[in-house]
Structure 1
């Protein structure tokens, strides 16, 4: 007869752990969308640059944090993006799946917390006199998940507009960080600008596709961002 003095501790199976971590991507905009093995193979075959989730050790565990950049022409890793830069890319591409944005209200110096319901992004390529540029229109709807502004009325139109502008400014910081890091420092297009250009201007694309990442590094990107606060997590003053 066997006697167990202590029940064996359950160990996390690595594949299950990674699967659970991947599911959390659906609830945050600070991690890149899931990149499957098939998707990665397609990107590499097309010599298209891309990002994928980065796994890092954290205390006695592992976590998803930021992203790794893979250059399409060489299929080699260039470096990493931090959480803020990854979040900015998700706003730029419209692939964010939720989460929050925190910002400080300039009038009251109190925290505003915006809970993301959806993010929509439209990339519009332009070619004028042979020069390529992009306009990006980003819209997001959400709510104030917490209203710490006890001196403000969350139903007052002026407060709503000020809160929307505050969140817009904060998100633009994230977007600009993402553009600066990918376009200027790493000189790669990981947001799909080239694909959009190829659809609207196929002839132009044929001329630039072989050295697109290098061309992209000098292309102007103009971003128009709108935040719409639709509902509130807590009520304002009555």
Structure 2
């Protein structure tokens, strides 16, 4: 009886999971950033794919090397085909579970079908984190990842850390793989951060407007700030104005944007934006002291006019030049006027440039310094 039980127990071990497929951590290459550029439109190798991955030997207290990361590039037919092409240049297999950044090159962004192919490949692969950050390179993604800069002492990497730590900034609008697909599937337009190289350093500011998986425009920081205000995505920001010849810096501590869309005699959208903050830096003479209520009121009015002008200028570009609704008017209609939205959804690209959009601003200076 004991022998029979022992045999059964031993036999049952066959069905238990084990470590037969174990791979040591130092025997994997953890890709953290991927760059994709256009190579040849028609032939087999249509892309140049670049992998960036951390140097495990340079991480931790017992680091034995100084170089924080490695970069490899190859022409290939797809993102993951690149791993097979590069297998002869790397000692261990590539692992994509920790990819956090995807950078699309400028020339690639002009090719709708190829961008669709890249996004679809990443979305279908179960190994890829769908929360990875997507950026648009002004130039080549390969050049961005090959920039020789001193890197952060974290596994996250410099680009991901910058995007992650500045999500409430209006200098750019962060975008994930899931968010990009959701935006493009619903409205056909989205906004992703722009990354460039300045003085051999990364610079992430402004953005790239994509329509139907294709780049249609670059926008600068001010235009991005205006869009962020309309979408209620600004938390930390500094606004500089000239007040009677003096430079005044206003730090935003809180914003609230309300959106109302009416369908009466045509479609009308009203944006009401409230901004609160304090004076960060100013040099005024004694006759214009910022402690006087009338001076504060004048400053608020100057800022309201300046920000409103900036927002209205951006709206005009979105309607007349880009014809891209990235301020959520169509989304608002789909939620609150679903019956009307079904009627106009198919022709929204033709309707959006002609709708009436009104903006009102209310800016308050709550403090003028540490003591008041």
TM-score class normalised by the smaller sequence: 0.7 to 0.9
Q: Which residue matches 1:135?
A: 270
CA distance in 1, matches of 2:295, 2:370: 14
Measured in 2, the distance between the counterparts of 1:86 and 1:177 equals: 12
- Alignment partner of 1:44 out of 180, 184, 192: 184
Match of 2:56 in 1: none
Distance in 2 of aligned mates of 1:156 and 1:235: 14
Matched with 1:19 is: 160
Task: Give the structure 2 partner of residue 64 of structure 1.
Answer: 204
Tell me the TM-score normalised to structure 1 length.
0.87
Question: Which SS does the other structure have where 1:154 is aligned?
Answer: coil
Based on CA coordinates, which of the two structures has the bigger radius of gyration? Answer: 2
Unaligned runs of at least 5 residues, structure 2: 1-64, 70-150
Structure 1 counterpart SS, 2:262: strand
Cα distance change on mapping 1:40 and 1:147 into 2, 3 Å: same
- What's the counterpart of residue 3 of structure 1? none
Structure 1 unaligned spans of 5+? 1-6
Is 2:166 the counterpart of 1:29?
Answer: no
1:93 equivalent to 2:231? Answer: yes
Q: 1:155 to 1:39 in 2, by over 3 A?
A: same
**1:234 CA displacement:** 5.5
What does the per-residue CA deviation read over 1:108-165, in whole Å, with 9 as the maximum and x for residues that have no partner?
Answer: x111111000111011001113x00111100010001113113223221101111111
Using the alignment, how far apart are the partners of 1:89 and 1:16 within structure 2?
A: 28
Matched, 1:181 2:317: yes
Which one of 304, 308, 311 corresponds to residue 168 of structure 1?
A: 304
2:283 matched to 1:145?
no
Once the two structures are superposed, residues 210-235 of structure 1 have per-residue CA deviations (whole angstroms, 9 ceiling, x without a partner) of 12132111111100001011112266
Question: Which digits, 9 at most, give the CA deviation of each residue in 1:159-179, with x for residues without a partner?
Answer: 111111111112112212221
How many residue pairs get aligned? The number is: 225
Cα offset, 1:26, TM superposition: 3.3
Contact persistence 1:52–1:68 (CA under 8 A):
yes
Residue of structure 2 aligned with 1:82, choices 220, 223, 235: 220
* 212, 215, 221: which one aligns with 2:351: 215
TM-score w.r.t. length of structure 2: 0.57
Contact preservation (8 Å) 2:189, 2:210: yes
Distance 1:231 1:47 in 2: 40
Alignment partner of 1:196 out of 322, 332, 335: 332
CA contact (8 A) 2:170 2:221 kept: no
CA distance in 2, matches of 1:170, 1:121: 17
Any conservation in 2 of the 1:182–1:188 contact (CA below 8 Å)?
yes
Q: CA RMSD in A?
A: 2.1
Counterparts of 2:290 and 2:371, CA distance in 1: 7
- 1:46 & 1:115 partners in 2: Cα distance? 34
Tell me, yes or no, if the aligned pair for 1:147 and 1:233 is still in contact at 8 Å. no
